[in-house]
Amino acid sequence: MSVLIRRNVKLYFRDKSAVFFSLLAVIIIIGLYALFLGGVWLPSQLTGIPSVDYLMNSWLMAGLLSVVSVTTTMGAFGIMIEDKTRRIDRDFFASPVKRSGIAAGYIGSSFLIGVIMSLITAVLAEFYITSKGGEWLSAESLLTVFGLILLATLTNTSLVCFLVSFFNSQNAFGTASSIIGTLIGFLTGIYLPIGELPASVQTVIKLFPPSHAALLFRQVMMEAPMKTAFAGAPSDTVRQFKEYMGIEFSVGGQELAPWVSVVVLLASAVVFYGLSVLNLSRKKKD
């Protein structure tokens, strides 16, 4: 399995176009934010506050961290699809390694790629925030972000693998990648804040695992700018802003604690990993 992981990681980073298209959704989001969306969703009461750019840049970068672990793992699974179409996978299945082990190898390599790309994104995000007048995250916050990267990537790898396990052609995979790359910005509340959406759509988003990853990233990365921007503000104003911007979720009028989002991500990772291995192993036996 470790040999397969190393092989897939090398193949991914050797293909510069695959790396680029894995990050295309992130590039589009940054471009849209810089050109059009920067101040569109900013509540009127925050206009003119000195730290508002720090606040909104942190909000954007936190959302990007939840997106990049989806798009890069999706790109990494392109290797599995290519192996299927070129029938290279048959050589693997002829080896003594169990089919479940081969499936785990693809999942492991995609997870590793997702973590590497997410860490690079996190570093670039910090440089971007500080270059725009923001502050560096504290050591404790950086460690928390690192832990969230591992958790978010684990969950998204399992989820994406389950989706990809149904594809057997590059055309189907390419179409799915385009659709997911487009939808992920909406489902994580970057293109449009969650508070702008109908209640029924908000409910769907709250059931979507990557949106919980975005929520956790925002809570950590926006803690410092929130304290500055909302110094002396009424608690109701702060709560309304958090719900509007997807910094916290509420169900039935009750705020969801961060540990609930962690449980959602962990449970999703376990469930979709099991389903992915089961589906991939079953298909190879057919």
CB 110 within 8 A of CB 161: yes
Q: What is the pLDDT of residues 172-184, one digit of tens each?
A: 888 888 888 878 8
Give, rounded to a whole angstrom, the gap between the first and last alpha carbons of the chain: 22
Against a cut of 0.95, is the pTM above it? no
DSSP 3-state of 112: helix
Q: What is the pLDDT of residues 9-32, one digit of tens each?
A: 998 888 888 788 777 777 777 777
Q: What is the pLDDT of residues 233-252, one digit of tens each?
A: 788 888 888 998 899 998 88
CB environment 239-263: b (16+ within 10 A), e (fewer): eebbbbbbbbbeeeeeeeeeeebbe
Which is nearest to 103 in space by CA: 114, 92, 91, 88? 92
Sorting pLDDT into bands at 50, 70 and 90, what band is 147?
very high
The number of distinct structural domains making up the chain is: 1
Position 24 scores a pLDDT of 76
DSSP 3-state of 9: helix
Task: Count how many residues are written for the chain.
Answer: 286
Question: What are the angstrom distances between the C-alpha of 198 and each of 194, 195, 201, 202, 203?
Answer: 9, 8, 5, 6, 9
pLDDT above 70 for 210: yes
Higher pLDDT, 219 or 171: 219
Between vectors from CA 69 to CA 240 and to CA 86, what angle results, nearest 5°?
150
- Count the neighbouring beta carbons within 10 Å of the beta carbon of residue 120: 13
Question: What residue numbers bound the domain in which 52 lies?
Answer: 2-285
Q: Average pLDDT of 222-236? A: 86
Higher pLDDT, 22 or 126: 126
φ and ψ at 97, to 5 degrees?
A: -70, 135
